[in-house]
C-alpha cells in the first residue's frame, strides 16, 4: 500500500467490515467510485479488502466516510491480500446457538417425526412457551448481525443475503407467536397449532457455523502471502561505534551496515561488505544448494544465512526490497478480477430480488393449490434460506487467490487474473534462444583476425571495451574471455547499442563495430564465409572494414527438451524466434524439436512475427529475457519473462519466472489452466446449487414424491455451499506441475 499521501498518485488498500455476501461488493464499489479523486477501485469479497487508486492526497477520509454512508466500516491495512485480525475462532454466539438448537431440535422431534415419544422423553421441551424463551436470545442476539445487515441494505434500497436470512427466520419466529398465544383462534380457523421456533434457531446456527467455517477456509487462501510475510525478520543488528544494536526492521535505512549471524535471516536487500558464508536462496532461485557469499556479492532480504557471519550494507529497504515487491505483485494479482467473473457479477446483481419473488410466488401457490399454511410457510422460508449469493461471489476470487499464491510458492509471478484466463487458452508459444532455451552464458570458442594490421590483443581489447557498456550475454562472454587474458580495456566515445544488431563506438580514435552479419550487410560490410557456422558469430569491423570475428557456443539448458516436449503435449505449437544466425537457430531447434524458426530478427521484426501469428487467429505467448524481447513480450497475448533477465523484459511481461528455469513455463501454463478449470468448477457448483436448490425448496418435487424440503435442511445446505466453493479452491494449493520426460 502506498503510504505517502503527498504523492500525485497513491494506491490504498482498505479492510472493509460488514460485507456479508457478493451483493455487498457492488454497493461498496459504487460508494468508493463516487468519491472525487478515485481513479480505479476493486473490491475482493474473499479478503474483504478494497484496492483503490487515487490522485487526491486528502481522499482517504472521504473514502472512509463514503463507505460508512453505505453502511460498512473500513480502515487502511498494511499488508494487501492478507486479511487483518487473529485466526478465526468459534464465536460465543455459535456456542450458545448450538446448545439452544440442540434443545429445540429435541423438543421438536414429536412434531417433525410424527412418532410417539417414550415416557422418559422431555416433553416439556416441546411446550411453546419453553421454545419461545429458548428462541428469543437466538432471534435477537445470534441473529442481530443479520438484522443489522438487512437494515443497512434497506437503507440503501437494496437487498443482500442478510435480507434473505432475516426474512426467513423472522417469518418462522413471528408466525410461531400466533399459535403460542392464541391457539384457540388457530384451531377455530382449521389451522394447526404447530410452532416453528426450531427452524429459526437452527437455521441461524447453521448459517453462523457455515460463515465461521468459510472464514477459516478463506484464511487458508492467503497462506502464500502469509508465508512471504513470515520470511521477513522482525529486527536487524545494526553496527554502531559501541558494537551492535538491535533495531526494528522498519528503522533500517539505506546505507546502514548490518551484522547477520549464522542461522538468521538476512533482514534487507544489500551487498556483503565483509565475511564469508553460505546463504540459502531457495525462496528466490528454487535451488536447494546454498550459495557462497563474500565481499561484493548481493544478498536478498529473507534468505537464510547458514554457516558464517556477514556484514552487509543495506541497499533496498521497506517496500523496495525484493520480498516486498514480490508480496505487492502477488497481492495485486490476487485482488484482480478475471473476465469470467462478469457472468457471476451480472447474476448477483439480480439474485436477491429474484429470490424474493420466487419465495412470494411459492407462498401464494401453496396457499392456493394445497391450502396448507404449514406447507406454504415451509416453502417460503426454505426458498429464502437456501438461496446463497455468497457461493457465486466467492467462486472466482477464491480460486484466483489460491492459484496466484500457489504460483508464488512455485516461483511464478502472474500479474493479474485476466492474465490467468488468457494463459489458459493459448495455442502457440514463441521462445527466444539466448538466455531462454540456452544457458545465456556463451563462451568464446575461437578468435579469428582477418586483417594483419591488427593483433589479436588489439582486436580483443577494442571489442571488449565496447562490450563493457552492454548487458547482452554475448557482451558478458567477451568481457570474461578478455579479462582472463589480462588485456586492458580502453576508453570509448560515441558509444551506441543497436538492439538486436550490435554495438559501435570509437576506441583509440578508430570506429569499431561489433555485431551480426545481417547488420553488417545493412552497413554495406561484406562478411566472408566461415566454418562452424552452427555457432554464434560476433563480427568485428574497424573503420569500415571487417577485421575479425569471435565464435561463441551457448549450450542448451538441461530441461529445454523436456519442457518443449511437455508444451507440445499440452497442445501448444512452439516457435523459435532469435536474432542469431539461421544455422545456429536450426541446430538449437533440432535439439528441442521446434519446426517453426524465425532467425536474424531485430526487435521490431520479432514484434511483427507475434502480430502476424495473432492476425492468423492464434493465441500467442512469448518467452524471453532480453531488452530486445521487450516489444514482442508486450505484443503477445501473454508475455513470459525469465526472472534472471533484464528489468525491461520483466516489466513488459505478464508472467515472471523468478527462478529463470524453463520448466517454470510449464508450471505457469499448467497453473493457469488448473486455476481457470477450478473457477469453472466453482461457478458450476454455485450455479447448480441455486438452480436446483431454490426450486426444490419451493416444492417442485412435491407432486412426485410428496416430500417438501425442510427449512433446517435448506439452512444446512446454504451454510455448506460457500464452504464447498472455498474448499474446492483450496485444492489448488496441492497443484504440482508435470514435466513430460523421456
3-state secondary structure of 411: coil
Per DSSP, the residues of 16-41 read EE---STTHHHHHHHHHHTSTTEEEE
Cα gap 480→458, rounded to integer Å: 16
Looking at residue 334, what is its pLDDT?
Answer: 62
3-state helix, strand, coil in the chain (%, to 5): 50, 20, 30
Distances (CA, A) of 426 to 420, 619, 622, 655: 11, 5, 11, 14
Distances (CA, A) of 329 to 80, 147, 225: 10, 38, 10
Model's pTM, two decimal places? 0.72
Pair 579, 628: CB distance under 8 Å: yes
Residue 4 has pLDDT above 50, yes or no: no
What does the pLDDT average to over 675-687?
Answer: 90
Strands 235-240, 291-294: pairing is: unpaired
Looking at residue 3, what is its pLDDT?
Answer: 39
Looking at residue 2, what is its pLDDT?
Answer: 39
Cα gap 502→498, rounded to integer Å: 5
pLDDT 10s digits, 549-604: 998 888 888 899 999 999 999 999 999 998 877 878 888 898 899 999 998 888 88
Helix (H) or strand (E) holding 718: helix 711-730
With cell 413471528, the residue in question is 174
Q: Which of 432, 562, 580, 629 is catalytic?
A: 432
**What is the chain's mean pLDDT, rounded?**
82
User: In DSSP terms, which residues pair with 598 in a beta bridge?
Assistant: 577
Cα gap 726→220, rounded to integer Å: 9
- From the list 608, 610, 647, the residue with the least C-alpha distance to 625 is 647
Lowest mean pLDDT across 212-216, 427-431, 616-620, 724-728: 212-216
- Helices 197-220 and 389-409, packing angle to 10 deg: 20
Distances (CA, A) of 126 to 123, 130, 198, 392: 5, 7, 10, 38
Lowest mean pLDDT across 18-22, 421-425, 517-521, 697-701: 18-22
Burial class (CB in 10 A: 0-12, 13-18, 19+), 350: exposed
Contacts of 85 (CB under 8 A, 6+ apart): none
What does the pLDDT average to over 483-505?
Answer: 88
Pair 496, 503: CB distance under 8 Å: yes
Looking at residue 617, what is its pLDDT?
Answer: 94
Looking at residue 533, what is its pLDDT?
Answer: 56
Looking at residue 333, what is its pLDDT?
Answer: 65
pLDDT 10s digits, 592-616: 999 999 988 888 888 999 999 999 9
Lowest mean pLDDT across 74-88, 256-270, 271-285, 310-324: 74-88
Cα gap 230→409, rounded to integer Å: 13
Cα gap 142→165, rounded to integer Å: 12
3-state secondary structure of 437: helix
What does the pLDDT average to over 267-282?
Answer: 87
C-alpha cell at 11: 494506491
Residue 1 has pLDDT above 60, yes or no: no
pLDDT 10s digits, 210-254: 777 777 766 666 666 666 666 778 888 999 888 888 888 888 899
Q: What percent of the chain has pLDDT over 90?
A: 18
10 Å Cβ neighbour count for 140? 11
Strands 73-76, 10-17: pairing is: antiparallel
pLDDT 10s digits, 340-378: 777 777 777 778 888 889 989 998 988 888 777 778 888
Q: How confident is the model at residue 113 (pLDDT cuts 50, 70, 90)?
A: low
Cα gap 104→693, rounded to integer Å: 25
Residue 281 has pLDDT above 80, yes or no: no
Cα gap 401→411, rounded to integer Å: 15
Pair 674, 730: CB distance under 8 Å: no
Pair 180, 132: CB distance under 8 Å: yes
Range among 80-84, 389-393, 413-417, 488-492 with highest mean pLDDT value? 488-492
C-alpha cell at 676: 481457470
Pair 597, 584: CB distance under 8 Å: no
Residue 126 has pLDDT above 90, yes or no: no
- Told to judge if 595 belongs to the known catalytic residues of this protein, a careful annotator would answer no
Amino acid at each position: 500500500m502506498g503510504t505517502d499521501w503527498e504523492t500525485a498518485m497513491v494506491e490504498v488498500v482498505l479492510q472493509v467490515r460488514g460485507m456479508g455476501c457478493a451483493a455487498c461488493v457492488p454497493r461498496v464499489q459504487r460508494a468508493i467510485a463516487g468519491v472525487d479523486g478515485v481513479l480505479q477501485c476493486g473490491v475482493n469479497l474473499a479478503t474483504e479488502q478494497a484496492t483503490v487508486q487515487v490522485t487526491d492526497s486528502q481522499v482517504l477520509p472521504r473514502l472512509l466516510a463514503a463507505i460508512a454512508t453505505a453502511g460498512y466500516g473500513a480502515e487502511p491495512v498494511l499488508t494487501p491480500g492478507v486479511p487483518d485480525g487473529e485466526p478465526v475462532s468459534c464465536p460465543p454466539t455459535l456456542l450458545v446457538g448450538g446448545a439452544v438448537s440442540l434443545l429445540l431440535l429435541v423438543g421438536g422431534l414429536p412434531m417433525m417425526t410424527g412418532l410417539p415419544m417414550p415416557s422418559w422423553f422431555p416433553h416439556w421441551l416441546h411446550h411453546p412457551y419453553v421454545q419461545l424463551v429458548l428462541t428469543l436470545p437466538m432471534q435477537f442476539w445470534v441473529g442481530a448481525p443479520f438484522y443489522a445487515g438487512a437494515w443497512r441494505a434497506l437503507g440503501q434500497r437494496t437487498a443482500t443475503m442478510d435480507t434473505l436470512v432475516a426474512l426467513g427466520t423472522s417469518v418462522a419466529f413471528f408466525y410461531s407467536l400466533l399459535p403460542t398465544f392464541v391457539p384457540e383462534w388457530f384451531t377455530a380457523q382449521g389451522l394447526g397449532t404447530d410452532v416453528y421456533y426450531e427452524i429459526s434457531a437452527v437455521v441461524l446456527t447453521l448459517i453462523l457455523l457455515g460463515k465461521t467455517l468459510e472464514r477459516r477456509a478463506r484464511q487458508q487462501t492467503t497462506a502464500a502471502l502469509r508465508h512471504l510475510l513470515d520470511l521477513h525478520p522482525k529486527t536487524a543488528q545494526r553496527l554502531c561505534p559501541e558494537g551492535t544494536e538491535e533495531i526494528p526492521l522498519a528503522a533500517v535505512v539505506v546505507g546502514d551496515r548490518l551484522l547477520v549471524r549464522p542461522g538468521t535471516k538476512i533482514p534487507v536487500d544489500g551487498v556483503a561488505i565483509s565475511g564469508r558464508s553460505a546463504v540459502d536462496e531457495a525462496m528466490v532461485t528454487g535451488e536447494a544448494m546454498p550459495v557462497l557469499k563474500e565481499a561484493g556479492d548481493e544478498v536478498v532480504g529473507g534468505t537464510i544465512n547458514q554457516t558464517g557471519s556477514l556484514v552487509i550494507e543495506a541497499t533496498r529497504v521497506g517496500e523496495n526490497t525484493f520480498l516486498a515487491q514480490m508480496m505487492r505483485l502477488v497481492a495485486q494479482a490476487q485482488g484482480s478480477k478475471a473476465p469470467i467473473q462478469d457472468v457471476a457479477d451480472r447474476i448477483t446483481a439480480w439474485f436477491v430480488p429474484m429470490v424474493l419473488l420466487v419465495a412470494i410466488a411459492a407462498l401464494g401457490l401453496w396457499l392456493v393449490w394445497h391450502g396448507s399454511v404449514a406447507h406454504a410457510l415451509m416453502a417460503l422460508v426454505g426458498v429464502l434460506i437456501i438461496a446463497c449469493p455468497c457461493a457465486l461471489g466467492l467462486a472466482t476470487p477464491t480460486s484466483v487467490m489460491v492459484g496466484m499464491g500457489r504460483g508464488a510458492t512455485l516461483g511464478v509471478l502472474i500479474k493479474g487474473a485476466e492474465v490467468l484466463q488468457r494463459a489458459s487458452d493459448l495455442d502457440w508459444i514463441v521462445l527466444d534462444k539466448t538466455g531462454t532455451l540456452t544457458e545465456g552464458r556463451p563462451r568464446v570458442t575461437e578468435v579469428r583476425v582477418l586483417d594483419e594490421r591488427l593483433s589479436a590483443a588489439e582486436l580483443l581489447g577494442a571489442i571488449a571495451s565496447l562490450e563493457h557498456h552492454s548487458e547482452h550475454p554475448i557482451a558478458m562472454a567477451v568481457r570474461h574471455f578478455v579479462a582472463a587474458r589480462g588485456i586492458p580495456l580502453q576508453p570509448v566515445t560515441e558509444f551506441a547499442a543497436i538492439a538486436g544488431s550490435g554495438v559501435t563506438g570509437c576506441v583509440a580514435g578508430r570506429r569499431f563495430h561489433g555485431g551480426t552479419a545481417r547488420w553488417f550487410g545493412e552497413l554495406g560490410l561484406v562478411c566472408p564465409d566461415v566454418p562452424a557456422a552452427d555457432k554464434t558469430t560476433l563480427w568485428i569491423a574497424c573503420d569500415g572494414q571487417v577485421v575479425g570475428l569471435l565464435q561463441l557456443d551457448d549450450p542448451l539448458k538441461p530441461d529445454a527438451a523436456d519442457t518443449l516436449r511437455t508444451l507440445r503435449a499440452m497442445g501448444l505449437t512452439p516457435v523459435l524466434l532469435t536474432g542469431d544466425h539461421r544455422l545456429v537457430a536450426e541446430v538449437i531447434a533440432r535439439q528441442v524439436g521446434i519446426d517453426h524458426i524465425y532467425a536474424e530478427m531485430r526487435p521490431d521484426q520479432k514484434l511483427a512475427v507475434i502480430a502476424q501469428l495473432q492476425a492468423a487467429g492464434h493465441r500467442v505467448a512469448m518467452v524471453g529475457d532480453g531488452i530486445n524481447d521487450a516489444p514482442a513480450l508486450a505484443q503477445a497475448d501473454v508475455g513470459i519473462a525469465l526472472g534472471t533477465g533484464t528489468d525491461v523484459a520483466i516489466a513488459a511481461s505478464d508472467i515472471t519466472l523468478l527462478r529463470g528455469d524453463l520448466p517454470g513455463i510449464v508450471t505457469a501454463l499448467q497453473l493457469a489452466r488448473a486455476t481457470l478449470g477450478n473457477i469453472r468448477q466453482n461457478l458450476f457448483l454455485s450455479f447448480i446449487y441455486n438452480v436446483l436448490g431454490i426450486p426444490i425448496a419451493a416444492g417442485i418435487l412435491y407432486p412426485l414424491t410428496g416430500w417438501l424440503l425442510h427449512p433446517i435442511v435448506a439452512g444446512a445446505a446454504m451454510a455448506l455451499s460457500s464452504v464447498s466453493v472455498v474448499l474446492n479452491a483450496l485444492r489448488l494449493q496441492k497443484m504440482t506441475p508435470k514435466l513430460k520426460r523421456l
